[in-house]
Amino acid sequence: MSEPRISRFEFQLLDKLWELGPCSIREIQESLPEKDRPAYTTVQTMIYRLEEKGAVCRVKKIGNAHLFEANVSRQAVHHRLIGDLLSLLGGSAAPVMSHLVETGKLTLADVKELEKKLEAAEKIS
């Protein structure tokens, strides 16, 4: 099964689930920044959409409240988002790497760590 496409707001909700663990919609909604906090029903709708996509699941019911947890890992979502970005760029990582260097978000230490990972990957294959 391929990982579901996740919007920015859905990612924010998943991030709260990864941080908090199993929790209710109310707990998710109240954990969001108070400034511009979405309404409970908005969070509820988005959690239900994430459930339909298979990204979250209900794990327990306490009274009238369902507890939800992430059904996908942060790494899996990152892989999907990065794959989608690379696909938009024709499959080449060069524009991304160039941008990261130009903005100072990719350091020499990062490059050295990546070299180690590439060398390890080459040994495996």
- Among the residue ranges 4-8, 28-32, 53-57, the one predicted with the least confidence is 4-8
- Buried b / exposed e over 29-55, threshold 16 CB at 10 Å, is bebbeeeeeeeeeebbebbebbeeeeb
Question: Where are the chain's structural domains?
Answer: 1-92, 94-125
Question: What pTM, to 2 d.p., does this model score?
Answer: 0.81
pLDDT given for residue 4 in this prediction: 80
**Pair 43, 29: CB distance under 8 Å:** yes
**Pair 67, 60: CB distance under 8 Å:** yes
Give the rounded percent of residues in the chain with a pLDDT score beyond 90.
85
Please give the CATH number for the structural domain made up of 1-92: 1.10.10.10
What residues contact 56, with CB distance under 8 A and at least 6 apart? 14, 17, 47, 50, 68, 69, 70, 71
pLDDT given for residue 3 in this prediction: 75
Per-residue pLDDT reduced to its tens digit, 37-47: 999 999 999 99
Establish how many alpha carbons lie within 13 A of residue 87's alpha carbon, considering only the half-sphere containing its beta carbon: 6
pLDDT over threshold 70, residue 2: no
Query: How far apart are the C-alpha atoms of 78 and 26, rounded to whole Å?
Result: 26
